[in-house]
Amino acid sequence: MFVICSLLLLSSCDKESNSIDIFYDYKVKNQEGFDIYSIILCPYNEDTTFLTGIKNEKMWVGMFDEHTKEQLKEWNGTETIERTIKIDLGYGKTELLNIVSFGFKLGIYKTNWGYIPTLTYGVILPTLGGGTALEKDILLLNDDKMIVYSAVNPSIIQSHWYQESIVVSSYIRDSYSYKVVSPEGKEIVELKSKPYNRLIELENLFPVSYTDGIGFYERGRGYDNKKCDIYIHRVNYAISKDLWDIPISSLTNIEKDALFNITILEQSNPIWKFQIDITNYDGSKKQVIFTVDVETGKVTEI
In what helix (H) or strand (E) does residue 118 lie, and over which residues does it extend? Answer: strand 118-125
User: Model-level pTM greater than 0.85?
Assistant: yes
Helix (H, G, I), strand (E, B) or coil at 16: helix
Q: ω before 183 within 30° of 0 (cis)?
A: no
Distance CA 168, CA 31 (A): 33
Residues 114-134 pLDDT 10s: 999 999 999 998 766 678 899
- Least confident range from 66-80, 209-223, 271-285: namely 209-223
pLDDT, residue 115, reads 98
Q: What's the pLDDT at 21? A: 80
What confidence score (pLDDT) does residue 16 get? 42
Q: Which of 76 and 256 is assigned the larger pLDDT?
A: 76
pLDDT the model gives residue 129: 64
pLDDT tens, residue by residue, 102-114? 999 988 999 999 9
Q: Are 128 and 121 in contact (CB under 8 A)?
A: no
Return the higher-pLDDT residue of 76 and 89.
Answer: 76
> What's the pLDDT tens digit per position in 43-59?
999 999 999 999 999 99
pLDDT at 61 over 50: yes
Q: What percent of the chain has pLDDT over 90?
A: 77
